[in-house]
């Protein structure tokens, strides 16, 4: 099974340098254009049988051009939602980083819980059942659209390195391809990138 894990295109929160968490920001105008362009660039060489998205609008808006081009229904899965950032949701990065309760060290967030929010450990736990159901699917090529932090934990699961995880983030609209063989195995992962760089901070 080939699975393509995609971070959503630029959102209004990304454009404003805001920690979105689960707040339902839409794509920015640039993000909407990039989502269309990435789907068009990706589709000729990568046939797809199913498309699954986080329920948040910025992810669904990124997935919709893929669903239209491939003429497939868009499935929504709650497990793919972004990290609950608790009290930091909606704050700018500068505001969050000025708060002593915010963990600025990206390598120390496995057990850190933003006040009122969700740890990386909790994200990994909610992703495991998603992968268990992925094992049961019959499609051979699937696009999965999610978010920066959730994708960070997905890549760690695929590489079988937890509780370690990548400290860099996927770029907006970056796609990670893997020949999926089940959690607990180390997967080779290939990046496809068609968009313009912006700084990833979460």
Domain boundaries, the chain: 2-192
* Confidence (pLDDT) at 198: 42
Residue ranges, the chain, pLDDT below 70: 195-202
Class for the domain spanning 2-192: alpha beta
Note the pLDDT tens digit of each residue in 96-129: 999 999 999 999 999 999 999 999 999 999 999 9
Range 111-126 burial, b when 16+ CB lie within 10 A, else e: eebbeebbbbeebbee
Other C-beta atoms lying within 10 Å of the C-beta of residue 85: 23
Q: What is the CA radius of gyration of the chain?
A: 16
Q: What's the whole-model pTM score? A: 0.93
Please give the distance of CA 59 from its chain centroid, rounded to a whole number: 8
Contacts of 50 (CB under 8 A, 6+ apart): 72, 75, 137, 139, 141, 142, 143
What is the per-residue pLDDT for 194?
79
pLDDT for 8 equals: 97
Q: Please give the pLDDT value at position 199.
A: 43
Q: What is the pLDDT of residue 195?
A: 65
């Amino acid at each position: 099974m080939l699975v393509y894990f995609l971070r959503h295109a630029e959102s209004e929160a990304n454009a404003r340098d805001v920690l979105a968490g689960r707040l339902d920001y839409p794509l920015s105008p640039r993000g909407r254009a990039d989502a269309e362009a990435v789907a068009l660039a990706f589709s000729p060489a990568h046939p797809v049988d199913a498309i699954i998205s986080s329920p948040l609008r910025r992810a669904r808006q990124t997935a919709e051009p893929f669903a239209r081009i491939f003429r497939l229904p868009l499935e929504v899965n709650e497990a793919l939602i972004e990290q609950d950032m608790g009290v930091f949701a909606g704050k700018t990065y500068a505001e969050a980083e000025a708060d002593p309760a915010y963990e600025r060290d990206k390598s120390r967030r496995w057990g850190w819980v933003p006040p009122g929010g969700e740890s990386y450990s909790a994200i990994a736990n909610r992703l495991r059942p998603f992968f268990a159901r992925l094992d049961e699917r019959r499609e051979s090529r699937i696009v999965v659209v999610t978010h920066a932090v959730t994708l960070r934990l997905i890549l760690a699961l695929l590489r079988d390195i937890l509780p370690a995880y990548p400290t860099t983030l996927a770029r907006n609209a970056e796609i990670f391809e893997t020949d999926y063989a089940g959690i607990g195995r180390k997967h080779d992962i290939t990046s496809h990138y068609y968009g313009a760089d912006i700084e990833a901070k979460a």
